């Protein structure tokens, strides 16, 4: 046997001859042809194939790559194979199966090959082609899909995370990150990948899919890799780019909506409430405050959230919306978070600022309408009637006096409403309208109340409908100047030295009508007067005597809960 033409090389493509005449050329039986054949063997190509070699005369096997446990590798058309095989392999496709019959003059001729191939033997090679490549081959890239918007492609020094299926040209899978549901994570340009794959990944966008075909000399070459990748194997990678970033990347902020009339922006130390959707760069959702129907609440710039979010929350208006891209070194780094966020993941947040405040904030009041005439303004102890709408800062209406039959009423200073609302109701004229912003520490605080969320800033739209000036706490009636002296003589209108309820009531009403005195507002006048009379009528005989009035004055020194 010619040592330059070992038995392993005896695999050729045949052209048919006929009848009983001696074979003058190879005979090729293409008994299995794949449906798709992107490439055919040409002269100077390298091939990798499995074969069984038998004698045409009796079918006896003389050689087999299967028995050796490895495929045969050679170059075609340069005399490294017997001539019949050099011809028989031409035009063959990967995964094609051929039966190549080689006449003696295109095989080992009249000499044969040692003790294995007798002289003038017709040889039959059953061939399965596994691989084709050429030293001039380059990495082949075919884009399967690409996002419409691609602002950035992978480049050297970037860190990438991708899924892939790895297969041989025969479609045999040697590895898959899809099946393990894990990405392959690595830096580009640092020699951590085979050269051909690294070349194929360059320029990929997040969400892009590619098929990358890597020739053996840009893959694992003559050594192969483990039991799965044989020597001189062309590798096919179907890749989905999941994520990419550069260690030098900073926060990326895109403002998507800014409300009109933004007069204040968030700063370090503010407390903010916001909604968000959190996704990876491929759009996969990992968290959402909207799904929980609850805002995320935190202080800004104090380390309560990831560093990138702490930076991104600064300089925003109430109602503003932003898209924020946070690289992993400003998020959860190489470790990620349990099964929720993979290591080295870029995070994308779409945020909507609901409201914010500072613990030092006071109640903000803006007068939207004030009547020309304003003779009296509301103050402590006054009884008022007012209309209101109570909303969150995003405009969500919580409560309204319009939901009831009549406007709301309260006495200022009686702790009947939240402190911030009472502050906003002070100093108003009848007919005046205001917008009042109440921070949570002036409202319902961290716990909220009813439909009011925790730590919510409230917006009140107020209109004062009615104002009745009040009296100090604990009093039913006050003089608006010096009272009559002596008081009993003024009360005893008919001079009979006794004051029954009717006479007492007429006296009090007269003082109110003449602007000399004031009853407690918000209560029925006759009821107040009856209580005042009962307090003075010590012996309960239905009339007040001068002695009873004097005793009360002597005991209390001041008129409290009575004249």
- The residue extents of the domains of the chain are 27-133, 140-245, 252-352, 364-468, 477-555
Nearest one of 326, 309, 169 to 252, comparing CA atoms: 326
| 140-245 and 252-352 agree in CATH topology | yes
Greatest alpha-carbon pair distance for the chain in Å reads: 163
Question: How many Cβ atoms are within 10 Å of 412's Cβ, its own excluded?
Answer: 21
Confidence at residue 553, expressed as pLDDT on a 0 to 100 scale = 46
Q: How far apart are CA 348 and CA 399, in angstroms?
A: 35
477-555 homologous superfamily: EF-hand (1.10.238.10)
Q: What is the pLDDT of residue 9?
A: 36
Query: 275 near 290, Cβ under 8 Å?
Result: yes
Six-digit token pair at 512?
């109110």
134: Cα separation from own chain's centroid: 47
Is domain 364-468 annotated with CATH 2.102.10.10? no
Listed as ranges, residues in the chain with pLDDT below 50 are 1-21, 551-553, 556-563
Nearest Cα neighbor of 277 from 259, 260, 256 is 256
> Taking the model in full, what pTM does it have?
0.72
CATH tag for 252-352 (out of 3.40.605.10, 3.40.1180.10, 3.40.50.1400, 3.10.50.40): 3.10.50.40
Q: Are 204 and 210 in contact (CB under 8 A)?
A: yes
CA dist 362 and 323 (Å) reads 31
Give the model's pLDDT for residue 487: 87
Predicted local confidence at residue 23, as pLDDT: 84
Helices (H), 363-486: 419-425
Residue 113, beta-bridge partner list: 117
Pick the CATH number of 27-133 from 3.10.50.40, 3.40.50.720, 3.40.640.10, 3.30.70.2190: 3.10.50.40
Q: What is the predicted pLDDT for the residue at 17? A: 37
The whole-number pLDDT of residue 548 equals 82
Q: Are 60 and 73 in contact (CB under 8 A)?
A: no
Residues with Cβ within 8 Å of residue 34, at least 6 apart in sequence: 93, 94, 95, 96
Instruction: Tell me if residue 396 falls in helix, strand or coil.
Output: coil
Q: Quick one: pLDDT at residue 550?
A: 58
User: Which are the contacts of 211, defined by CB distance < 8 A and separation ≥ 6?
Assistant: 140, 141, 142, 144, 236, 237, 238, 239
Cβ neighbours for 21, distance < 8 A, ≥ 6 positions apart: none
How many Å is the Cα radius of gyration of the chain? 48
Distance, CA of 393 to CA of 415 (rounded, Å): 24
Q: Two tokens at 555?
A: 């005991």
Whether the CB-CB separation of 433 and 379 falls below 8 Å is answered with no
Q: Contact at 8 Å (CB) between 14 and 27?
A: yes
Q: For position 486, what pLDDT does the model report?
A: 85
CATH topology of domain 140-245: Chitinase A; domain 3 (3.10.50)
Closest CA to 225 of 178, 188, 174: 174
Do the beta carbons of residue 369 and residue 432 sit within 8 Å?
Answer: yes
Catalytic residues: 164, 174-175, 194, 220, 237
**Taking a C-beta distance cutoff of 8 angstroms, is the pair 466, 430 a contact?**
yes
């Amino acid at each position: 046997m010619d040592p330059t033409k070992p038995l392993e090389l005896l695999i050729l493509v045949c052209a048919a001859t006929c009848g009983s005449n001696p074979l003058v050329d190879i005979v090729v039986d293409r008994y299995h042809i794949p449906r798709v054949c992107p490439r055919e063997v040409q002269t100077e190509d390298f091939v990798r194939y499995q074969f069984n070699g038998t004698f045409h005369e009796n079918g006896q096997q003389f050689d087999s790559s299967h028995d050796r446990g490895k495929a045969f590798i050679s170059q075609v058309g340069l005399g490294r194979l017997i001539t019949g095989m050099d011809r028989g392999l031409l035009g063959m496709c990967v995964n094609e199966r051929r039966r190549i019959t080689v006449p003696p003059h295109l095989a080992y001729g009249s000499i044969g090959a040692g003790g294995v191939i007798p002289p003038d033997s017709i040889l039959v090679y059953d061939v399965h082609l596994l691989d084709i490549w050429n030293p001039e081959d380059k990495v082949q890239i075919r884009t399967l899909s690409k996002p419409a918007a691609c602002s950035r492609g992978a480049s050297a020094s970037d860190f990438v995370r991708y899924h892939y299926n790895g297969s041989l040209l025969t479609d045999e899978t040697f590895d898959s990150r899809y099946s393990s549901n894990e990405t392959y994570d690595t830096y580009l340009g640092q020699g951590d990948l085979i050269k051909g794959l690294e070349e194929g990944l360059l320029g990929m966008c997040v969400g892009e899919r590619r098929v990358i075909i890597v020739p053996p000399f840009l893959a694992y070459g003559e050594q192969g890799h483990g039991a799965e990748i044989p020597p001189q194997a062309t590798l096919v990678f179907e890749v989905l780019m999941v994520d990419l970033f550069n260690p030098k990347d900073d926060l990326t902020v895109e403002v998507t909506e800014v409300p009109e009339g933004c007069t204040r922006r968030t700063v370090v130390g503010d407390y903010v409430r916001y909604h968000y959707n959190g996704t990876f760069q491929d759009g996969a959702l990992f968290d959402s405050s909207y799904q929980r129907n609850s805002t995320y609440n935190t202080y800004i710039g104090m380390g309560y959230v990831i560093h990138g979010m702490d930076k991104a929350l600064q300089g925003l208006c109430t109602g503003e919306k932003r898209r924020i891209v946070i690289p992993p070194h400003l998020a959860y780094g190489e470790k990620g978070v349990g099964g929720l966020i993979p290591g080295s993941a870029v995070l994308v947040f779409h945020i909507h600022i609901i409201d914010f405040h500072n613990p030092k904030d006071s109640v903000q009041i803006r007068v939207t309408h004030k009547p020309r005439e304003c003779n009296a303004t509301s103050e402590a102890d006054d009884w008022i009637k007012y209309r209101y709408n109570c909303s969150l800062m995003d405009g969500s209406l919580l409560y309204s006096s319009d939901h009831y039959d009549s406007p709301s009423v309260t006495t200022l200073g009686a702790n009947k409403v939240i402190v911030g609302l009472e502050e906003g109701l002070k100093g108003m004229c009848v007919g005046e309208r205001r917008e009042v912003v109440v921070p949570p520490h002036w409202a319902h605080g961290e716990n909220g109340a009813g439909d009011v969320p925790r730590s919510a800033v409230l917006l009140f739209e107020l209109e004062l409908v009615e104002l009745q000036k009040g009296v100090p706490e604990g009093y039913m009636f006050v003089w608006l100047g010096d009272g009559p002296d002596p008081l009993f003589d003024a009360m005893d209108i008919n001079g009979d030295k006794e004051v029954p309820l009717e006479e007492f009531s007429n006296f009090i009403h007269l003082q109110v009508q003449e602007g000399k005195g004031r009853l407690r507002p918000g209560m029925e006048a006759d009821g107040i007067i009856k209580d005042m009379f009962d307090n003075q009528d010590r012996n309960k005989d239905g009339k007040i005597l001068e002695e009873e009035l004097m005793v009360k004055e002597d005991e209390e020194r001041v008129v409290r809960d009575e004249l």
